[in-house]
Chain A
Amino acid sequence: MQRIGVFVCWCGSNIAATVDVETVAQTLAKEPGVVFSTDYQYMCSQAGQELIQEAIREHRLTGVVICSCSPRMHEATFRKTVEKAGLNPYLLEIANIREQCSWIHKDKLTATQKAVILGRAAIAKVQLNAPLTAGKSPVTKRALVIGGGIAGIQTALDIAEAGFPVDIVEKKPTIGGKMTQIDKTFPTLDCAACILTPKMVDASQNENIDIISYAQVEKVQGFVGNFSVTIRKKARYVDEHKCTGCGLCTEKCPQKKVPNEFNLGLDNRRAIYIPFAQAVPKVATIDPNYCAMLKSGKCGVCAKVCTAGAIDYKQQDQLITREYGAIVVATGFEPIQLDKFDEFAYSQSPDVVTSLEFERLMNAAGPTGGTLLRPSDGKHPHTLVFVQCVGSRCDGAEKGKSYCSKICCMYTAKHAMLTREKYPDTEVYVFYIDVRTPGKNFDEFYRRAVEEYGVHYIKGMVGKVTPQDGKLKVQASDLLGGRQLRIDADMVILAAAIEPDKTARPLATMLTASMDTNDFFTEAHPKLRPVESPTAGIFLSGACQGPKDIPETVAQASAAAAKVIGLLVKDSLTCNPCTAKPDELMCNGCSSCEKVCPYGAITYVDKSFRGPNRTTLIRRVAQVNPAVCQGCGACTVACPSGAMDLLGFSNQQILAEVDAICR
């Protein structure tokens, strides 16, 4: 005979205000099998947990039902509680009477009735619960970091420092990411390259880090602690081990007219190139779309000049498969395309640039050597207009993004300040909706731009930019002054919204990690688990999870690394014991379950059974690997003979709940 204990939580007034908890406890006490029923202010508190443990011991309970908040909140807590009292943690059921009852109903009578029914369903289910023991699965002590920007580098360095091997997969020929393109960083105005490139070198020299550049993740299999990842390393037509990075080939290559993506197309590079001087790995890459040798077989200059003999026109893509215990996503962001914002004349005039292009124009290693010159005629600009929120905070999602891109206010203040500092003869206007500067020393920085550097901040949006007679006619509204402004500008700089990298969506599908509507990765909990994906073993680092500046990115990257280290130090992981289990006597070995299993957890073995007249029958039956099974239950429904059942969510348990609700 079952001995069930029922514990109804008030959750302060969260439940007790709309549900008559005493009535619920008293009504449920009359349910068959219930030997103890009580209510308490906070079941999850120390005192509440002790109350449960004491009742388990005193009344020799064989099952526990807690009517409280969502099991997603405290199931793990209460499992530990009952386990400490000597009861199997899976002999516990939670009736969700907060999120799914007291918080959604106003009428006390209805809510109380519903709470009773939910409690009954949990009691009906717990009667059929079986004690389950979690198995163990081993952990591969190696991590994969996808994306080699500042987020990926920081995560990899931290994991490597802790002594675990880690691979960085970077799609570009070099690691470094967006930060390599930035000139200076706010609010300290440090040179970005000066703080980033030492980290890139650290990463390349760390013996625990393996940088797989010019590569993409192609396939992900497995689960937390045991991922198997296939990486496609694209052919760069240069032997990485032989190339010394001398750069001779990049000077001699006759194909000079290739838009240089590192400078955002503001200048050209050769068909064989090293993205920038401090690239890691410092190895040349041949761009197959422009190389004459690869396209038509006529050229071969780079092979002739290369003293190391590193050029290999016959190189093929390489597929690498490795085992990992944890995967960190650090795919970062990119600025949005501006084709839907033609009112700013971005496509019509080269003097209308994005902020990232402006970074390159200000950068000493950029196309102009750090002298601010107009891209159209190479002249020094005198009037600059910065437009903020281009594509950020848009009402309808059709045109831009509904969210705030977070970093634009600060980098625009930085651009304005640097321009005024270098060229005091310039007039700098910034048009904004709001200036948002939360962050350490951020508001002081912005105020310095206004007060010390005399940047004209004007609240209002730019309506139209028209290129005319070598000038850009800017029409804008000054909301505080209540007037229309017309400015003859030499350059217009657009603070384009940022969005997740395009590779993030297909990657999320491979990882079965969830994303929000803007394609940012969702975290396991927005407040309490911000660096983990809801999918176990997948961690989030940097702007792939939401817009972030560099300090925040680095903080999150280290946090993700800490979580990964916490996982990798374990020798084994406790598996979810709610796995599928076949009834071998009923299984006819038809393979229906094997076909629907997304994890390949089901195999078949020949087993001997007692046949008629003392004969032995050999039959093929399904077998589930509990370390691989994730407990989705697809097989339980696919099984035509009903042999497959799911522990913890068995057919009988769910039917008992159905019956209790429909009673």
Chain B
Amino acid sequence: MQVNETFTPTIVAFCCNWCSYAGADLSGTNRLQYPANVKIIRIPCSCRLNPMFILRAFQRGADGVILCGCHPGDCHYTTGNYYARRRMTLLFSLLDFMGIERERTRVEWVSAAEGAKFAATMNDFTQTITRLGPNRRLEDLRCKVE
């Protein structure tokens, strides 16, 4: 418990440019607070997220990774978030296999109008990760980081 109280997790949030990134902006415009642990990376669409990016984040010390995209049916590129959903399902089972807690990765659909949902999601996700504690760092044997 003592570890958890001082533990500030590193959280990477991948947000699609059209819905979730705009939703994140909206939560800022509305001054809705969420923890500073969350750092957002803008990608054009949730389907741009290569599962490799998530593995890399875990290799470099991320404690949680969240992908946010448009709601199913609302993708700016029509079908991108459906691809993302399938790929993430596959990745989840890989992460299970590797022994990384299921809760450390999450997919959420946040529209450009859902600033409140974005903030609430990030608050909840940060809480979950804080409860889980630091992640076991994956190692990239191709290029060892000292």
Contact = CB atoms under 8 A, between A and B. Distances in A.
A637 B83 contact: yes
Contacts of A517: 113
Which of B18, B47, B87: most chain A Cβ within 10 A? B47
B22 interface: yes
B44 A649 contact: yes
B45 A98 contact: no
A654 B39 contact: no
Nearest to A125: B41
A623 to B, nearest CB: 20
Nearest to A635: B47
A403 B126 CA distance: 34
A632 B36 contact: no
Contacts of A47: none
Interface in A505-520: 509, 512, 514, 516-517
A103 B28 contact: yes
Contacts of B83: 596, 634, 637-638
B36 A114 contact: yes
Contacts of B78: 512, 598
Given A104-B119, A633-B48, A98 B36 contact: no
Interface in B79-94: 79-80, 83, 87
A649 B44 CA distance: 8
A578 interface: yes
A514 B70 CA distance: 10
B47 A662 contact: no
A654 to B, nearest CB: 6
Contacts of A499: none
B48 A70 contact: no
Contacts, number: 143
A100 interface: yes
B40 A96 contact: yes
Contacts of A105: 33, 36
Given A104-B31, A598-B78, A633-B43, A649 B48 contact: yes
Contact of A111 (B36, B43, B73): B36
A637 to B, nearest CB: 5
B32 interface: yes
A632 B47 contact: yes
Nearest to B34: A104
B108 interface: no
Given A632-B77, A659-B60, A662-B61, A637 B24 contact: no
B74 interface: yes
A379 interface: no
A99 B25 contact: yes
Given A103-B31, A598-B80, A637-B83, A662 B12 contact: yes
Q: How large is the interface on A (under 10, 10 to 19, 20 to 34, 35 or more residues)?
A: 35 or more
A106 interface: yes
B110 interface: no
Given A72-B22, A72-B25, A514-B74, A634 B79 contact: yes
Q: Which of A517, A655, A662 has the most CB of B within 10 A?
A: A662
Between A106, A634, A646, the greatest number of chain B beta carbons within 10 A of the residue's beta carbon is seen for A634
B113 A516 contact: yes
A649 B24 CA distance: 19
B36 A654 contact: no
Interface string B5-46: 000001010000110011011111101111010011111110
Given A103-B28, A104-B28, A633-B44, A659 B80 contact: no
B43 A661 contact: no
Among A101, A114, A633, which residue has the most Cβ atoms of chain B within 10 A?
Answer: A633
A631 B60 contact: no
Given A661-B10, A661-B39, A72 B21 contact: yes
A57 to B, nearest CB: 29
A71 interface: yes
Nearest to A509: B73
Given A111-B36, A512-B78, A651 B50 contact: yes
Given A662-B60, A662-B61, A646 B25 contact: no
Nearest to A512: B78
A540 B141 CA distance: 54
Contacts of B43: 633, 649, 654
Name which of A71, A113, A649 has the most chain B CB atoms within 10 A of its CB.
A649
Best-buried of A98, A113, A657 by chain B (most CB within 10 Å): A657
Interface string A78-115: 00000000000000000010111101111100110110
B117 interface: no
A657 B41 contact: yes
Nearest to B65: A658
A634 B12 contact: no
Nearest to B83: A634
Contact of A636 (B29, B40, B50, B60): B50
Contacts of B51: 637
A117 interface: yes
A99 B24 contact: yes
A654 B53 contact: yes
Contacts of B68: none
B132 interface: no
Given A100-B25, A512-B78, A637 B44 contact: no
Given A659-B56, A662-B60, A100 B74 contact: no
B137 to A, nearest CB: 10
Contacts of A622: none
B77 A637 contact: no
A83 B24 CA distance: 28
Contacts of A630: 77
A535 interface: yes
Contacts of A483: none
B28 to A, nearest CB: 3
Contact of B12 (A631, A633, A649, A658): A658
Contact of A598 (B42, B61, B79, B112): B79
Contact of B42 (A71, A634, A662): A71
A111 B37 CA distance: 10
Interface of A: 70-72, 96, 98-101, 103-107, 110-111, 113-114, 117-118, 121, 509, 512, 514, 516-517, 522, 534-535, 578, 596, 598, 630-634, 636-638, 646, 649, 651, 654-655, 657-659, 661-663
11 contacts: A72-B22, A99-B28, A111-B36, A117-B39, A512-B77, A514-B111, A516-B113, A598-B78, A638-B83, A646-B44, A662-B57
Given A512-B76, A514-B111, 10 more contacts: A105-B33, A514-B74, A522-B113, A633-B48, A634-B80, A636-B48, A636-B50, A637-B47, A654-B48, A659-B60
